[in-house]
Each structure stands twice: as C-alpha cells, then as structure tokens.
Chain A
C-alpha cells in the first residue's frame, strides 16, 4: 500500500515538474553565458532591472560572469586561449578592446560576425561626440587673481604663469599645478588641445586630413609643439603629465585643496568624481584658443563606432545570442540601457521643456543613475543604439554639478571651432600614430629638440617611411 502511494506520488510529481504550465517539453529557457566587466555600481545582477527585462523579452536565461581583470585585451587573450564557457562578451567603460584587437581575433575566426560586420555597437552612452577634448580651467583661481578666461594661446600662458606664481589657492605653498594631464588618452593630454591653436589636430586619424595632408609635417604643427615645449620648460605644464595615470590625474583634480589650474577631457565627468559639487563648481570650459596665426580648432573626435558586444564563434547558441543582442539594440532596450527604468528613472517629454542642448526636450530624467550605484541597467556596458533625438533631447536635472549639463554647454561653445573634414577621414595608421605620439612627447619634454631643423627633418622622414 505504502509503495503504491509512493509510486503514485512520484509519477504525479514527475509529471507536474515536466508540465510546467505554459512551458511544455523542450521549452526550458536557453542559457546564455555573458561576460560583463565587474562594476561596483551594479550591486545585484540577479535583480537588475535591465537584465530581467531582457530575460523576459527574449525568454533567455542570462548567466552573468563578471570579469574582474581590468584590461580588456588581457581578458580576451585569456578567454580565447581557454575553453571558458562564454557566449557573449559585453564591453563598456574602460573595458574596451584596443585598436585592432577584435579584428585580429575575427581574422582567426574566434569572433562570430553576423552579416560579416560588427553590428553590436554602443551609441548613446558617451557624451555626443562634438569636441574631442575640452579645456577646463579653475575659474576660482582666475577670480582670485583678477584674470579673465584666456582667449588666445598667449593669454593662456600668462594665466598659467599666474597660477604658478600667484598662490591662487591661497595656502602659502607653491603646490599649484597650472596645467595637468595624462598621456593615456588623447583627450586627457593637454598638448592635444593646445595644438588646436596652431593646426587642425586629429590624433585619432594619424594627424592627417581627408585630402591626405600630413598635419604632422606642417610648420604650424611644429610651432604648436614649440609652444607646448615652452610651457613644459617653464613648468607651466605638469612635468609628470606624460607619466601621470588617469587615476592620478583624477586624484589631483579632486583634491580637497585645489591644486590643479586646468586640465583637458572630453567629459568633465570623466575626471571629476560624481557627487562632488564643490570641485565641479571650480571649473569652467574654455573655448578653443586663438593661436598666433589666428587659428583656433576643436580637436576632431574619434567618431568611431564603439563595439558594445561580440559573440564568440565557439558559442553553440549563436541564434539565441543574436536574439539577445538584437533586443539590446532595440529602441526600448537602448533607452533602458541609457536612462534606466521607464516611468521611474525617466519619462518621455512632451517637448515643452528645454533640453541640455537647448532643443525641445524628448526625455525627462527623474533619477540620475549614470555612474552611481544603481540596479537599473549596466551603467553603459553593452550594445545600445539610442536614437539621436533622445541623446540630444535630455532635460537638465537641475543640478549645477550635472556633468552632462556641464558637458553640453562646453560642446555648444566648441561648435563654431569644428572644421569640415571635406571628405572621409583616413583610417588611423597604428604604427604611424605611435611614432607621432612618441615624438610629440619627446619634443615637448626636450628629449628631442623641436627647434633643430635636422632633427625635425629626421622626424618627418621617419614618419614618411612608415607611410611608404
């Protein structure tokens, strides 16, 4: 009797487990293993609004593997060298592959490219590419010294001199760094901004124009380097600028005692920590400075499609992986990835408001969740395709220290300083770029004498050799 009951119960239980209402046999959700760079800003991936939304939308069970290795290239190498069970890798923040890295894996057949292209880009998270970099200056120091915002390269030099000698932070110590930076990224390297007072500057395309002009060989370019050399020599540009890491730059700029007079970055939020209104209030953007020949250009931005995700060729669930990534690229998902939970963190605007770009608004942000601890999206990681009208249509959240608002104002001020490339810009030549960057640093630091004609000729012919 007992055995019979047991058997019966077993059958009932088995059937009930197999026949989950609405699922039926063979409809267990597919599991996708997704690698995501670890972030302190995402406290609980299991309850993350965006992940749950994607799972619900696709019926796929997303199993996240957090990547704690900071270098994306290093991680990719380990991933492809190993047999780790990963279907998709998401990129974002500082976790992005270096130039040519993905192409190399793709050529080896490690990356699956639907339709033969990198479809899964990230468009909409970063500050809309206007100026490649912006000069931010300590306006409190200017006020303390009774100096106006510089409009020319000569005026900047005067200001930096005053920053150095005038004790603008008033602590009686010569601890001021007139112009700080880091050579790790073009936008953080002040030399790149300063070159715009002399010549069109486009480091992302090996400093060449659409019609093939070699800016790096131009006398105006050389004048620009000489100017930077002068600043460096006089201690007006931080002597450690080319060795300074991104983190060190941030620490200097965010120091409770103000020590930095000016720095460059494409977004002020890249350098000034979130929730730091005192520091944010110190700095104001400076439009491109007019050089001795009357030139003033904004640095040309990278304008490269950032890859948000890749599918591994070895994945046995390519179809599901495509479904997931296609869903992430939809407008609905992109808006969640960018702004958070609809109705809670943001809403569509009726257009009666003014956006941060002074256009009719399309999105009203209710909770500002960018770069803060939140559980609504992946904080910029992964592919997205936010339509332009939403990128430019965001309303101001009212905070004076809102980095997006500060950036938008700077970008608008730089608008008049763009040059029409007059055609498609050349693809950057990695070897040439490395050569030019290396020599730029050597000239500015004085390791090589930019004023020597023979050394300059040698440098130019070296670059020409690479091109040929």
Chain B
C-alpha cells in the first residue's frame, strides 16, 4: 500500500518535472541543471550533508519568520552549513524569484511560500521556476499525495477569529452576521491584494457560492437581493463596509489583542501567540465557512547553486525521515496541521472539524483579473 503511494507520488512529481521542462522549453544549460540537481534521486541526509559541506551559504526566501527557527536548528544539526534567511511578503517573494530567474541570477536556493492564491502555482510552479523536492522516505508518509505537487509541508487556514476578552464565545453563527452595523470598523482583515492567503479566502468564496447563498437564506429566510451582483461579490461589498484593511495578519492579531477589533480574518498560525496574551479565539464553527484551508510550500529554486544544501534543508523542514526532526517543530504550533501521517497536528481541533473550504487555485488564476479589479474597487471606496 505504502509502496504504491510512493510510486504514485513519484510519478506525479516526475510528471510535473517533465511538464514544466517541456512547457518552458528550457535551454540546454537549464536542463543540465535539472540533470545535475536530480530532484527525484533518493539520497540520505548523510550523503547530502557531505556534499553540502562543499557548497556556499544557503539562501532561503521565506514568507514565514518561523523559518529563522528552522535555520537555527539546521545550523546546529549540520555544523559547517550556513543559512541566510530573507523574509518577504508572498507577492514580493514571487516577484523576486521570477526576477532572479529571468535575469539568470541564482540568488535564491529554497523558496518557502504560501501557495494558495494560484499566483505561486501559475507563475513559479507551472513555469518550472521552482522545483518540488520530496524524497520517497518522506513522500510515503504524506496525508494527501495531491498536495505534494506543490511541495506543501504544513497546512494552515485563513480564518475568522473573535475577541475573546469581549466575548465568552463567538457572538455569531452565520458569516452573514458580519454585515451587521454593530461591527462597523470592528472587523480587521489583511488587504487581499497583498496577502495570498486572504486572497485565496476572498476569491475562493466564488467556488462555494451556493453554500454562501444558502447561508444567507438560512439566516434571513430569503434569497439575497444582490442587484445583479454575484452572491460572493455582494457579500464582500456588504461586509467590507465594516472592515478595516491591514497590511498583514500581525496587525489583525494586535487589533484583537488591544480590543480595537471584535473580529479578524488572519492566518491560523497566529494562534501560537495566544499564550502571549492576545485575547483572540478561533471560530471553528460558522455557517457556511469560517475560512479556507491554506498550505505552505517548500521548493528548490531552479538554478540554485547549492542544490545539496537545499535538499537537506527541505528534508529537515519536513521533519526528516522519521518525522522527529527539529526542522518542522517551529511550524508545528497551534493553528497548524501536519501534512504527514506520522506527525501529529499542532492544533488540538482537527481540520475536518472546522468549517473550512479548499479554494480551487485554477479558478483563482482564471479570475485573477476580475478579482483584482473587484478588490481594487473595494479598497478605493475605503480610501
């Protein structure tokens, strides 16, 4: 059973590699890089370490500062290897990686990015600019082989939180209640045009529009009068009147913590700061959805000069073969869920007990122009 799964994953990965290379018509030297990189070759951590010692400093582009903890653990586990972390916001990371690639620059070795908006997939993965790497000893332990194509190493969610200092329990049961006037300027949310996970949630609602409409009917007993708009657009148009847009989830967390917000949409991993005294609690049950599932990818940047270090780092990030490695631990916190069967979830409540949907990335990619225009319009009304 396991062997079959491994084979499936390997076939998927090989397929992705073949497609990306063929689709892009890479020049000979890049195919040579791929040949040299051998992302599908099985190598032990010891073998990679030995070769990595001959390489240069490993540069990691990441959207998560938790990677700095992985770096520290990696450098301690593999003396002689150095990692440089560059923290970037998702859209900027994609931009930088693309820029590097097209200018022939091999500045980045490993990419850690939120992969849910379709942007990462269409611009970086489908074009072959990032190359997935998943050794078979780990691949066989993944919960969902499909997500391996994207090099997902942890699951998270973009979801609703409420102010737990103000409310003993979540004061709403239906997402449409967020349009109530009492929540004017009391809901905080990152600008979806600058946050991949927020974009995935905002745009992804169009994939589950029937459920959204059903929730309206359940609450108000009739169909929404959308004045020709789609139900999703109508929902966002109404609720955005109550929203204060922020740059990132950190600001949402701080607004909840300071009492400025009653609700906030943010990445679930911010839950790890609840112990710091930020008064917020996740909304696990909400009609029809509290948010969407998201994930983080780790991939090798094509043309990386430090391929063995990159592979070793990604193995480490996945928690090594036995799942007990230190590299994944910074990511195993409240508000995260493991992608592996042999690593327990960081969050007490499992994913299937939370009202989340999984956005269709292809739909997001196809509708990008429309969604950008729509959200630009929304943001303009707030200006």
Contact = CB atoms under 8 A, between A and B. Distances in A.
Interface of A: 139, 142-143, 146, 148-149, 151, 277-278, 281, 284, 287, 351-354, 356, 358, 360, 395-401, 405, 409, 413
B92 A358 contact: no
Given A278-B71, A399-B87, A148 B92 contact: no
A278 B68 contact: yes
Contacts of A139: 273, 276
Interface stretch (B227-235, B250-258, B300-308): B250-258
Given A352-B380, A409-B251, A149 B276 contact: yes
B379 A352 contact: yes
Contact of B246 (A142, A148, A354, A395): A354
Interface of B: 65, 68, 71-72, 85-89, 91-92, 191, 193-194, 244-248, 250-251, 254, 258, 272-273, 275-278, 376, 379-380, 382-383
Counting chain B CB atoms within 10 Å of each CB, the highest count among A143, A148, A356, A401 belongs to A148
Given A277-B85, A360-B383, A396 B65 contact: no
Q: Which 5 pairs from chain A and chain B are nearest by CB?
A: A148-B277, A398-B89, A360-B383, A398-B92, A281-B65
Contacts of A396: 89, 194, 247-248
Given A149-B276, A353-B194, A409-B254, 16 more contacts: A139-B273, A146-B275, A148-B276, A149-B277, A278-B71, A278-B85, A284-B276, A352-B376, A354-B194, A354-B245, A354-B246, A398-B91, A399-B87, A400-B87, A400-B250, A401-B65
Contact of B68 (A143, A149, A281, A395): A281
Nearest to A401: B87
22 contacts: A139-B276, A143-B272, A143-B275, A148-B275, A148-B276, A149-B277, A151-B277, A277-B68, A278-B68, A278-B71, A287-B258, A352-B193, A354-B247, A356-B247, A398-B91, A398-B92, A398-B194, A399-B87, A399-B89, A401-B87, A409-B251, A413-B258
A281 B85 CA distance: 12
A400 B376 CA distance: 24
A399 B65 CA distance: 10
A255 to B, nearest CB: 14
A148 B277 CA distance: 5
B194 to A, nearest CB: 7
B88 A398 contact: yes
Contacts of A142: 275-276
Nearest to B71: A278
A interface, by DSSP: helix, strand, loop or mixed?
A: loop
B165 to A, nearest CB: 11
A48 B273 CA distance: 44
Given A151-B277, A353-B191, A405 B88 contact: no
Given A149-B276, A277-B85, A352 B244 contact: no
A354 B194 CA distance: 10
A149 B379 CA distance: 33
Contact of A360 (B246, B251, B275, B382): B382
Given A277-B65, A358-B244, A352 B276 contact: no
Contacts of B275: 142-143, 146, 148
Contacts of B193: 352-353
A413 B259 CA distance: 11
A352 B85 contact: no
A400 B87 CA distance: 6
B383 A351 contact: yes
B350 to A, nearest CB: 24
A228 to B, nearest CB: 23
Nearest to B257: A149
A139 B273 CA distance: 9
A358 B276 contact: no
Nearest to A416: B258
A400 B380 contact: no
A401 B246 CA distance: 17
A399 B248 CA distance: 11
B260 to A, nearest CB: 9
B63 to A, nearest CB: 9
A396 B88 CA distance: 11
B379 A400 contact: no
B173 to A, nearest CB: 29
Contacts of B72: 278
A418 to B, nearest CB: 15
A417 to B, nearest CB: 11
Contacts of B272: 143
B65 A352 contact: no
A398 B244 CA distance: 19
Nearest to A396: B247
A352 B258 contact: no
A400 B383 contact: no
Contacts of A409: 250-251, 254
Contacts of B245: 354, 358
A139 B272 CA distance: 11
Nearest to A349: B383
B277 A277 contact: no
B181 to A, nearest CB: 21
A148 B278 CA distance: 8
A25 B85 CA distance: 59
A281 B272 CA distance: 14
A354 B248 CA distance: 10
Contacts of B68: 277-278, 281
A233 to B, nearest CB: 27
Contacts of B379: 352-354
Contacts of A399: 87-89
Contacts of A398: 88-89, 91-92, 194
Nearest to B191: A354
